[in-house]
Amino acid sequence: MKDNIFEEYLREKEPQKKEKGYAWHTAIGLQAVDGLETSQYLLDTAKKNIEGDITFEEAHQLINSYYKENIKHNTDDRTEEADKVSVRIAQLLSEKAFVLSPAQYMSIHTRLFEGIYKHAGKIRDYNITKAEWVLEGDTVMYGGALDLRATLDYDISQERAFSYKELSVEQVIKHLAEFVSRLWQIHIFSEGNTRATAVFFIKYLRTLGFDVTNDIFAQNAWYFRNALVRANYNNIQKGIHETTEFLELFLRNLLLGEENELKNRNMHILYTTQAPKCQKELPNVTLDVTLEEAVVINLLKNEPQITQEQIAQAINKSVRTVKRIIDSLKEKEIISREGGKRFGFWKVNI
């Protein structure tokens, strides 16, 4: 039911409906990282918001009233949490404002879980372990309680100072995987850490120019969490080492539109087959592209009829810069122009 509802909006030509459809689909899908499911009432409310019948504020009010007046609370049923957090994530993803800072990270957690967790937006003051299915019951070594804020400040300051200039898309993907895995492993919050990290990361990707309005997070939220786990787990005795390879596959699908297989079983530490590889073979196409070129590739995949002027506006660059990027991608045979000037479209060859 969920997929059928949002598939309609993800294909929507009207930008506002498409963006809201993505925001809601992602928001609801992310509840899976904590094993939660939303109600049918939430889905109906989401559809009203996407159609423009109600605002996000009105959606909040409807959900709050629904649980206040009509539902008998069950401490074992976290559907109320899933519904309320979904509305909040959808609203956050629909907002453009973002600053790469510890304060923004803390603020996102506060907005998602205020009134749900007593510790919303607060740094945990105790050490934690979590038994993980993908680790056969073992745990990642999370950040120590005494060092959490200092570690968070350091990691984000390092990212703020990092330059993506002249990096190939391979290097960009690798770095982003390392950044988000480190941020998650700090586990600065007692609960809701993965959902807050995912929202923060999606909004950060947008500031880098990536158009992430697809359903990868919605459809593969559990994979995303397990990939974060594997990126931070070592067991030397068993010959297991931390790896970002699974996160990189996820990011390649998210940012480049690839179709790599994302299977949770492949990440289980007892899984004995070879490490996953990209399914697409690219015998005649180089992937030695810059971050700017990767961003444009992603735009062309999502909007084949987009003009160079629209690309320039979307990535906040001049038309001259866009023309240079387009020419470079044509030269590398990564893209080509099909059809006439008026009704033509961009073809991405990867």
Q: What is the pLDDT of residue 1?
A: 42
Q: Please, is 85 exposed, middle or buried when counting C-beta atoms within 10 Å of its C-beta (0-12, 13-18, 19+)?
A: buried
The DSSP line for 50-75 is HTTSS-HHHHHHHHHHHHHHT----T
Whole-model pTM? Answer: 0.79
Q: Say how many residues make up the chain.
A: 350
Amino acid identity, position 122: K
Q: What is the pLDDT of residue 300?
A: 85
* Nearest one of 178, 321, 303, 168 to 246, comparing CA atoms: 178
Query: Which residues, including other chains, have CB under 8 Å from residue 89's CB and lie 6 or more apart?
Result: 23, 26, 27, 30, 112, 195, 199
What confidence category does residue 275 fall into, taking pLDDT thresholds of 50, 70 and 90? very low
Amino acid identity, position 338: E
Which residue has better confidence, 104 or 335? Answer: 104
Count helices and strands in the chain by DSSP H and E runs? 15, 2
Enclosing H/E stretch for 345: strand 345-348
Cα Rg for the chain, rounded, in angstroms? Answer: 21
d(CA 84, CA 38): 9
Q: What is the pLDDT of residue 210?
A: 87
Reported as a single tens digit per residue, the pLDDT across 228-248 is: 999 999 998 888 999 999 999
Which residue has better confidence, 164 or 328? Answer: 164
The domains located in the chain, with CATH, are: 1-95 (no CATH), 98-280 (1.10.3290.10), 291-348 (1.10.10.10)
